[in-house]
Chains A and B, each alone.
Chain A
Amino acid sequence: MKFVRIISAPALHRLQTHYQIRMSVRLALLVTTIGAGLIIAGCDSSASIEEPNEMVLHHVLSAKIKGLDPGNMRDVYSIIVASQIFEPLYQYHFLKRPYELVPLLAEDMPQISDDLLTYTIRIKKGVYFQDDLCFSNSKGRELKAKDFVFSLKRIANIKYLSQNWSIFDNKIVGLDEFREYTKICNSEADVDYSRQVQGLTTPDDYTLIIRLKKSWPQLCTVLADIATAPVAKEAVDYYGKDIISHPVGTGPFRLNVWRRDSYIELVRSPSFRGEFYPSSGEPGDAEAGYLDDAGKPVPFADRVLWTIIEERQPAWLLFLQGKVDATVIPKDNFDEVMDGAGELTPAMKQHNIHLKTFNDPSTYWLGFNMLDPVLGKNKPLRSAISYAIDREKFIELFFNNRHPVAYGLIPPIMPSYNPEIKEKGYAKYDPEKAQELLKEAEKIHGGKLPTLKIALPGTSTWYRQFGQFLKRNLNAVGLEVETEYMDMPTYQEKVNTKSIQMFTSGSSATSPDAQDFLAMFYSRYNAPGPNKFNYSNPEFDELYEKAQVMLDSPEKHQLYRKMELIVLEDCPAAFLNHRVAYVLHHDWYKNYKPHAFAYGLSKYRRIDLVKRTAYKELLKTIK
């Protein structure tokens, strides 16, 4: 299980699409002299005023991004931006569903040896890094196979402290030894990257051969992950620790301005090799206009702007003003946007605003620490808690009824999703049953149950109300609960050190393979590994190991469903909900087909400038 990113619920809620916003950057700077008072004046030098027929995408990020160094990023927001600058070997097809991997920097899909251990990948010729000071005469040089090797070694380098190492831990021949070697180096710089790693070889500049210790079918999806995007050694050496703010990739856009707490501006990279809009998609795409640009060279946009606005409300207002191309619907404005029948309200239609919904590959739950003396041994107690939670009510109160209940742990979008899962009734709201089970539970516990603790990874109002909701539900069936609100760091620490009873969390898959979710119950991955539940079931483990080495296939999906049922039966967590993204966009925002796994899609977006100017007139008439 590799790419599950634990994201706080609201964060994901925002993430469902990138907010987008129009921004003519005018950051006035302030000159103050305390004695004399102040003069507000000045206008930021980098202020780029939009030319009439320049095509600019206006996005919104709902959180600051941490850094733009693909080797060491885990937060979604950084990934969103970095994905426009860096490219991995493979990418998801923009239009095809079910989701399908296609080559990006690679010439074609890898040749896999019969023992599934050797991957031979041919790399596109004529791919150039973006022009940057770090190169001689600051022209971007051509991409070579060794760059991939370097990037992987870099992640292995312990001095680099990459958060992505766990992805490659004990997978590639010789890479772990390389990590061992780096331990004796004094600093990141001292590491000698020319050291051989048998598992990573480059017979020529355009061929990369990866040898695995054991079969690892997810390798392709890994190679589609931004973490494996090639980074130029020149840049790393040149910028040192500041590489996080000096991305040098091969992608269609390059970084122009990054004001950490207000905006990021990317511009089209002149050295981009050029790519083409897909000419085929799934049925219905043509009608939806997704194929209008078929075969045209991408990117369309000249610039991509992200404004960082952490509050939902202002972003929404900017969207209505036409300063943002697309947005999710803020919880509090839902009624203003949707009528009861799930249709857009007339007001929205009048604005020519379009609605897109899609299943988000995520699941949220109330998890139990199976090593906890009270909960671990007491299955009736756990299922009682699960039955005591009114998921419908939860979704109504907190998500305006727009998210589906999680009957199991695999999101509906996954091919291995089990259509009958609802009938199994694990997610039923049944207080009576819960109370019966509690009687049992007390027998097992031998006496009155102690007060249980729920940990929530936040102190905001949202979490407080969420916590209160759970508490009310459990109190209703006669369970004493105490909620503990802690900041994310504390929370993670407590979860990782297994010193927690119940915890609310969720995760979102980065590939269509549900293994992401199942791995969270594999006993070898106990905390601080992905298995935060510290759940352990030999039968499950066996199946997991079996499935792990299988290529994607119906049998594999059957296995997954079986494993899912085992988990639901043991109930190491009360699964609450999946998510459906409700995305609004203006009708000038073209080729906006939601995608659950891909981030680097800005290159496909196109702006209908005529319509956009028309909107300004429209607003006047409406007002």
Chain B
Amino acid sequence: MSEYQQIIKTEPPKGTSLWKDGARSLRRRRLAMVCLGVIALYFLLAGFVYLAEFFDWRIGPIRWAEQAGQSYAPPSSKNIIGTDIFGQSVLRKTLYGAKISITVALCASLISIAIGVPLGAVAGYFRGFIDEIIVWIYSTLSSVPYILLILAFAVVLRDKTLFGHKLTGITAVYLAIGLTSWVGICRLIRGEVIKHKNREYVLAAISYGCNRRRIIFRHLLPNVSHLVIIDFSLRFVAFIHAEVILSFLGLGEAERPSWGAMINDARIELSRGVWWQMAAATAAIFFLSLALNIFGDALRDSLDPKLRIQ
């Protein structure tokens, strides 16, 4: 069999609609579905912690603050993955951390989408002056190195009050991330909209007199919406990792256990051979982002093989 043959990829099967297609070929990828399951688990866990806190169920994760053993007790039957300096169960902290990390990543993603998508659509559809402005804004933002930008935002947002609400811990974190990371999706949507703008269905819509809002939001956006999903799935990972870095720089959540904070603690602990807290947090992040990465790829391949988001 010639190598050439190994390389050419057979075209994806012609399907009825983009989404049906995607769903079909997704369902056929067993691995992707497993990953989806893992992701769902994490989200359920986070949601569960929220509920538990809301109804004040006295179950594991939200009892992370309780003393479960000696300080720095190594993994044992009592504490499966040991305890931290205050003898708190690392397992509980890790579980609870899911809530923080996912909240951060989720809110950040939603913010960036909420900003990026409409801006991109408007810019792409109207072009002209509005476009100029929006492009100017995002090229300015993107010409500042990303990490620097996040830090700058996080630093200034910290402990400020916004609409009477104090930006503590994670709020500042996800605001900073969200406000800085909408550029990518904005650029993407803008490009797509420009492409679709002159497609027949849009012209048709115009021809039977839709107003612009309707055209953008009812006709254009649905046709580029899959990009949002893909972008979201891949960006989510980046945000979870960003939380870690911010906590390391002392800009993260300090009150409650977050994965970032746990890994950060390891800086002191490792030298006394306390590895479990770090390992636990790392593993937690690892499996979530592994799942997200694989699933994100699968999603992209099935929805839009040509797309290359990095």
Contacts and interface: CB of A to CB of B under 8 A. Distances in A.
The reply to whether chain A is a binding partner of chain B is yes
Interface of A: 313, 330-333, 397, 458-462, 464-465, 467-469, 472, 475, 482-487, 490
A464 B85 contact: no
Contacts of B251: 459
| A interface SS class | helix
13 contacts: A331-B268, A332-B271, A458-B250, A459-B250, A459-B251, A460-B250, A464-B261, A465-B265, A469-B86, A475-B65, A484-B168, A485-B250, A486-B159
Interface of B: 65, 71, 85-86, 158-159, 168, 249-251, 254-255, 261, 264-265, 267-268, 271-272
B255 A483 contact: yes
A490 B159 contact: yes
A520 to B, nearest CB: 26
Sorted from nearest, which 9 A-B pairs have the closest CB atoms? A459-B250, A332-B272, A332-B271, A485-B254, A464-B254, A461-B265, A313-B271, A461-B268, A465-B85
Nearest to B257: A468
A383 B159 CA distance: 29
Contact of A467 (B159, B250, B254): B254
Contacts of A484: 159, 168
Nearest to A490: B159
| B interface SS class | loop
Contact of B255 (A462, A469, A482): A482
Contact of A468 (B86, B158, B159): B86
Contacts of A486: 158-159
A485 B250 CA distance: 9
A331 B268 CA distance: 9
A484 B255 CA distance: 8
Most buried by A among B85, B251, B268: B268
Most buried by B among A458, A461, A482, A485: A461
B173 to A, nearest CB: 12
Nearest to B84: A465
A407 to B, nearest CB: 25
Contacts of B86: 397, 465, 468-469, 472
Contacts of A467: 254
Contact of A462 (B158, B168, B268): B268
Given A460-B250, A472-B65, A475-B65, 6 more contacts: A331-B268, A397-B86, A459-B251, A461-B267, A469-B86, A484-B159
A397 B254 contact: no
A461 B265 CA distance: 6
A464 B267 CA distance: 13
Contacts of A475: 65
A333 B265 CA distance: 17
A485 B159 CA distance: 10
Contacts of B268: 331-332, 461-462
A279 B291 CA distance: 74
Contacts of A469: 86
Contacts of A332: 268, 271-272
Nearest to A482: B255
B53 to A, nearest CB: 15
Most buried by A among B158, B254, B261: B254
A311 B254 CA distance: 22
Contacts of B267: 461
